Structures are given as structure tokens and as C-alpha cells.
Structure 1
């Protein structure tokens, strides 16, 4: 989160402002936080995730959204915009504007230097309060790596890592598999000043 506005805002006022705003903001406990912009790699990864998941979810009762689907964590009051969110079954929204989702099944965040600590810590703590959430994934943009948290039947979260271009991670709740060679298609990694472009089409 970046510097907040220094006055109390109600959730209703936040939504009214946000629906007219050109720049997205998060909201928590009466405070609005402007969200930072995304890098080229961040955008490419997000698009690749949406494309691969969209293809795999075709014909299934699950729907992916990217960037602009606001999520409300009702138990904590956080309003935020995951990079990718998937809802299975009937989506529930806060009001008839159908732009604030209440029951996400899977949330994916693409990490950046400015948000990584938040995504790993405070934000994940909020997300864990969502009873509907089964999976939370953190996707690096500076190397091929996906960290995956899966909610277990006892409420604990199982952690796993997919590391390297040949790796993959399965999201069992939505019967989908993310292959890193596809998620990092056309993503450029900088290594000691050299830039290498990885393309799934070259495999």
C-alpha cells in the first residue's frame, strides 16, 4: 500500500469514489490506499495466467477475472484488487453493481518489489479470513517461481513451490495445472545485465 488519504472514509463513500476513479485504490478501516502501477513483466504474467486458466476452465463452473475485479474480505473489511481471481459456483457480490466479489475460490498475486512483503504477510492474513478461499498463489516476476498455499480440511495451509521453467503446480480445487513455461511465455529475466526471453513457442 502507498501513502493513504488522511481522513476517514466510509465503505460506501469509498465505493462511490472508486467507481469514478481512473486509478485503483485499496480500502481498509476508513483509509484509502492508492495502488502502484504494474511492470511489463507483471502484465505479461497476468495475461498468461488469465489465458491459460481461461482455457482450462472453459465449460466448467468457474470463472477467472484479472486486475479489475474488486474483492471484499468481509471479515476484515479490506477491499482490494487481486491480479487474478477465480470464483467457482455462483458468485456473490456486495451490491447490484456486480463489481465487488465476496466469495473468491482462488487468488493469485504477481509479486513486485513494492508489494511482495504485503502480499506475503498482511494481505495473506486478510485473504485467509475468506471461508471460500481454497488456494493462494504468489508468482515471481524476476524468476520462474510460483509459491502455492492450499487450504487443508483442518484449516491449515499447505505450502509448496514450483521452481524453474520445467516445473508446474496443480490447483486441484479447480482441476487446473499451471506450467511455468507457459506462465512465463515472453517474460524477460535480467541476469547480470543480460536479458533472456523465454517463449513457450520455442519449446
Structure 2
């Protein structure tokens, strides 16, 4: 009988590997999990969403950041790369780390077939442990469909959108996000 031993990494080892890596990986409490490659639709949607938010939020107290920055979730010992995060005021860094933040108020994930369940369930549960976190957008890349979760006194309220002529009211940042801007240039097969 052959026994395989799964390699566990401490946080410093993961960070050292991530700094030199060509691709990105998430840290899951000792496990390093490579992130899947994107698609043209995924890139367009995340880019469109980031660009619109960046433009509309200029000269405000809100700042959107793209997926180059890692979100650290202390309660779960996880380092994740959301497609877009928005911060109110200055992003709070994780100690002396310049590549890890702690306090987004809005998180946007573009759903991939291989990660959609994880984004909706486990990842959303982890995000909810962040005290500042108030709003979550899940955007389908293969069809026109957006889910918006907003934090309420009694829990999280789900709203669904599937019409290019509508806008999504993002309460956490006090703006309207036109669905047509999210899906600009996106072609569904």
C-alpha cells in the first residue's frame, strides 16, 4: 500500500511562492490552490465593471481595486482574489503586507462554470465574516444574469437582474450600475 502525503504550506511559504509565481493561487489554510484561467467574457465583464466603478467613483471616498490584490480573511486563514473589491476610505492592509487587504465593503465575482458553486456558497460564507462587507455581486459570464446580495438587519437580501435596460442600485457605494455597462462587448454563444 502506498500512502501519499499532502504538502501543507505555512503562510510565509505561500506568500514567498505567490510573489514569484506567474499565475495566482489562493491560500486555503495550508493548501495552495491554483486559480483557473479566465475567458474572454470573464475578462470583459470584470474589466467593464472595474472601469465603470473606477470612473464613477473618482473624487469620492470609495475606491475600486481589481483582482491583482489579495483579500485576507483571518477567520478562515484564506487569501483570495475577488474580481473587483471596493473600499470606503483607505484599504486596510494586513499588518505590514502591501499585497493583502482586509476591509472591502463591496465584492464582485464573475462566475466561472468551475467555481460558481464555490463563489455562491463557501466563498460567500467566508466573505460574510468581514465586518466591513455589505454587498456582493455575482455576475454570470455565459448568460445575462446578475445576483446582488445586500446586508440587511435580518440577514442578506437577494435581488436578481436579467435585463440590459435595468441598473443595479449598489447601496453600499450609493451608485447605479447599468447592466449594459457590465455586459458591454460580451458575446454569448
TM over 0.5: yes
* Deviation per residue, 1:118-175 (Å, 9 max, x gap): 1011111111111110001100111221100001134x10110111211221111101
Segments of 4+ in structure 1 off by > 3 A? Answer: none
**Aligned-residue RMSD, C-alpha:** 1.3
* Deviation per residue, 1:104-131 (Å, 9 max, x gap): 1110000111110110111111111111
Q: Using the TM superposition, name which of 165-174 and 104-113 deviates more.
A: 165-174
Matches within 5 A, 1:11-160: 11-154=11-154, 156-160=155-159
* Deviation per residue, 1:17-47 (Å, 9 max, x gap): 1111111000112110000010000000011
1:50–1:84 Cα contact (<8 Å) kept:
yes
Corresponding residue pairs, total: 185
2:132 alignment partner, SS class:
coil
The alpha-carbon deviation at position 96 of structure 1 amounts to 3.1
Match status 1:162 vs 2:131: no
CA–CA separation in structure 1 for the residues paired with 2:98 and 2:114: 29
CA–CA separation in structure 2 for the residues paired with 1:84 and 1:6: 32
CA–CA separation in structure 1 for the residues paired with 2:140 and 2:177: 14
CA–CA separation in structure 1 for the residues paired with 2:24 and 2:184: 27
What TM-score results when the alignment is normalised by the length of structure 1? 0.88
The alpha-carbon deviation at position 95 of structure 1 amounts to 3.5
1:145–1:180 Cα contact (<8 Å) kept:
no
Gaps of 5+ in 2: none
CA–CA separation in structure 2 for the residues paired with 1:168 and 1:162: 8
